[in-house]
Structure 1
């Protein structure tokens, strides 16, 4: 994008500035293609704070320009004035002075289209203070929802989008065939698309472009149903203990420990780590050597964190430390990191594509479970380990707060945001789990090979 939606540091003076591209529809009113304001600091943290206020002032300026408010525009010009020669006045030098004479009514400015609103929405994300790679991922996901709407309904004026258009869009989505499949999009995908579109429309409401959010007023979420699955008394999402033992005792599985290529030995370790930690497949697949750590008490643990551009977490509570069960250490997990650079990934053979690092592991694991007679329709072969871990914790009497800490589930209670989750407590409770590896004969096999 041409507009710089973050503090701009002058290469010579080191002073930070707000720089914004003037939208095409009001460029003739403002008299410039770009506005600039000094943030009067060389400190990046101070600049970020000042940037938010300056950005809000520029947004007010644009709104007044669209409304033809010359009085307010002149006041905004004064408010946006910068120091020195580095910031030219926002209005053209030929803009006539405001007098007491009545101002002729301006022709109404055409409302922006949905794609134009999304561009402004994207620019406003700089105010969140999140890392740049988080913004990029956000823009890809939310931009896809907007693109789906414009392809299906058209790039309509934002004021022309109402409940009727939203309902029509939802109807088209529910009948759209999923990519590479002979069935329609999942309801969860439709619901997520509508939620992302709703966020963009909410920005339009906050910006004064529309009076209400058409996604909400359409009540489409009622028609699509709740995103929260209904409680099922029969556990169809977890593996039974006998299924765990059967999978991990297969000679074909044991041989994967030394497999090469893609997915290679990741097909051995990912299911095991998931079974002992309840971690998500992507959280495991994206691990770096530096994420396997040892504290001052000698406890080994893995850190789930989005501290690199190629790593991500699902929620804030997903950032966590997970103690390593003694079985995983006995199986040789630490051998994957010893002697390797801390800046390398544990499973470098996994390449990140549209479905993440772990997609290839998931695709390879499914046919194995089918071959072993364990596959069940409706149960995700890899994600099932996360459900299984929670079930085993409950059966072993591990307190809910502890297995919530380990899996990164948030209770939503304010008190949970205070203090830290003690690693020693988690490690002690984790040892209550029955030994899957011993029951499956993995430790015996490891010791003899």
Structure 2
């Protein structure tokens, strides 16, 4: 007999175990509901219909979507019992139940930061400090029980009127003064939703601490109108040809020459390129590779970022290995000795800031095309050439969602990855770089619009 069925006096009952984390809400360890039948088949059918309703109540309670009183009353209704607790009008409307001991928002931010700061890098901590300040300035330091869905809607609407990096661009100005400025370019939908997600994390912290019973941010993010692949643009073949043709000489600042080339022919992130050591250019099974790792001061985005990326033949032909040997003979550990690491943002700022200026002056005015566009170009180029997604993910350092190949499968051998990455070629004839767009897709091209 199924574990969720029980027999008493010949009658079948549905047996629902109360999750351990909800024992404060439901004092009994299990809930029994009569199925009013002695027939096993009928009992199983009835139970299969009723179980999801009980599980739904458990999930909504756990996530803070309904209060404990509401949860108990829903269970009572399903058991055909009279609810023991009478809900206040405020609770029925789904508003937070005020707690006399609930702290103000600033105190919750301090608690949340204290609980999470050990897992934050200095850069992440600085970003969160800026996000928290912005949320606090918009909402005010009021009790967290007073943050309703209407308050969250006001926060969302205010954020859509503010520029990105508001404190950096308009120091000393209030939020309302910034909003009143003419010709403001608002922050992206992605940034607005990120701030709403952070506010939601604060509200979940309040639920765990017993300061409130619901999360007012749920379902209030702005729906994106762009597909994920349209949030940043890939460079076209012609863009990359132009970049290669106007790169500065590697004589004085070699990172300004080799950095974009490595990005274009490997898809590596800017931070991964800037953090390279001389020892990270090595031969593995007879293939020259970039060893992307977190040794010494280097920091990677995630665990999947650690990988070997074969060096494209074009880079070898341009003299990359000779350059590496020159740096090695000079006694340097880092491949780019002039790049200085900062705790907040690593080795990136100098090269990143230079490339932004170079990109706008010599390549494109399109703000959606940045150094990160090289990664999109590599991903798109390999995809159009028919390369398997799992191989593209390994080259780019993305997590593989497939259990079979991701958990149990080993990494691809460098020789196989070299064959794949060698398919990219911006400088040969058109056929050699098959799959690359030479111009931007037209607005009228046939494609599905994201909803």
**1:356: Cα distance to partner?**
5.5
Partner of 1:121: 112
Partner of 1:389: 378
Residue 276 of structure 2 is aligned to residue 245 of structure 1: no
Residue 413 of structure 2 is aligned to residue 420 of structure 1: no
Gaps of 5+ in 2: 1-98, 171-183, 431-451
Provide the secondary structure at the position in 2 that maps to 1:214. coil
Q: Supply the distance in 2 between the matched residues of 1:118 and 1:366 (Cα, whole angstroms).
A: 34
* Aligned partners of 2:274 and 2:339 also within 8 Å: no
* Aligned partners of 1:201 and 1:213 also within 8 Å: yes
Of residues 259, 263, 280, the one that matches 1:270 is: 259
Higher relative contact order (CA 8 A, sep 6+): 2
Structure 2 counterparts to residues 430-445 of structure 1, below 5 A: 430-434=421-425, 436=427
**1:437: Cα distance to partner?**
8.0
Structural RMSD (CA) = 3.2
Of residues 283, 303, 321, the one that matches 2:308 is: 321
Provide the secondary structure at the position in 1 that maps to 2:336. coil
Of residues 138, 155, 180, the one that matches 1:152 is: 138
Q: 1:343 to 1:215 in 2, by over 3 A?
A: farther
Residue 403 of structure 2 is aligned to residue 398 of structure 1: no
Q: Supply the distance in 2 between the matched residues of 1:357 and 1:258 (Cα, whole angstroms).
A: 20
Gaps of 5+ in 1: 1-107, 127-131, 440-449
Partner of 1:286: 275
**1:316: Cα distance to partner?**
3.5
Partner of 1:177: 163
* Aligned partners of 1:238 and 1:387 also within 8 Å: yes
Partner of 2:446: none
**1:355: Cα distance to partner?**
6.1
Q: 1:187 to 1:396 in 2, by over 3 A?
A: closer
Q: Supply the distance in 1 between the matched residues of 2:217 and 2:106 (Cα, whole angstroms).
A: 16
* Aligned partners of 1:188 and 1:227 also within 8 Å: no
* Aligned partners of 1:275 and 1:386 also within 8 Å: yes
* Aligned partners of 1:305 and 1:312 also within 8 Å: yes
Partner of 2:336: 346
**1:393: Cα distance to partner?**
1.6
* Aligned partners of 2:104 and 2:143 also within 8 Å: yes
* Aligned partners of 2:235 and 2:369 also within 8 Å: no
**1:366: Cα distance to partner?**
4.2
Q: Supply the distance in 1 between the matched residues of 2:374 and 2:130 (Cα, whole angstroms).
A: 30
**1:243: Cα distance to partner?**
3.1
**1:117: Cα distance to partner?**
2.1
Provide the secondary structure at the position in 1 that maps to 2:299. coil
**1:176: Cα distance to partner?**
2.0
Residue 211 of structure 2 is aligned to residue 209 of structure 1: yes
Q: 1:112 to 1:227 in 2, by over 3 A?
A: farther
Q: Supply the distance in 2 between the matched residues of 1:353 and 1:138 (Cα, whole angstroms).
A: 10
Q: Supply the distance in 1 between the matched residues of 2:209 and 2:300 (Cα, whole angstroms).
A: 30
**1:426: Cα distance to partner?**
0.9
Residue 151 of structure 2 is aligned to residue 165 of structure 1: yes
Where do 4+ consecutive residues of structure 1 move more than 6 Å?
Answer: none
Q: 1:153 to 1:343 in 2, by over 3 A?
A: same
* Aligned partners of 1:290 and 1:343 also within 8 Å: yes
* Aligned partners of 1:283 and 1:304 also within 8 Å: yes
Structure 2 counterparts to residues 45-124 of structure 1, below 5 A: 110-124=101-115
**1:211: Cα distance to partner?**
0.9
Q: Supply the distance in 2 between the matched residues of 1:346 and 1:273 (Cα, whole angstroms).
A: 13
Provide the secondary structure at the position in 1 that maps to 2:290. strand
**1:165: Cα distance to partner?**
2.0
Q: TM-score, normalised by structure 1?
A: 0.60
* Aligned partners of 1:150 and 1:156 also within 8 Å: no
Partner of 1:298: 286
Q: Supply the distance in 2 between the matched residues of 1:139 and 1:227 (Cα, whole angstroms).
A: 30
Q: Supply the distance in 1 between the matched residues of 2:243 and 2:162 (Cα, whole angstroms).
A: 37
Q: Give the length in aligned residue pairs.
A: 311
Residue 193 of structure 2 is aligned to residue 200 of structure 1: no
**1:150: Cα distance to partner?**
1.4
Q: TM-score, normalised by structure 2?
A: 0.60
* Aligned partners of 1:291 and 1:303 also within 8 Å: yes
Partner of 1:380: 369
Write the deviation string for residues 213-252 of structure 1: whole angstroms up to 9, x where unpaired.
Answer: 2221xx321xx223862666xx9822332332233133xx
Q: Supply the distance in 2 between the matched residues of 1:125 and 1:358 (Cα, whole angstroms).
A: 25
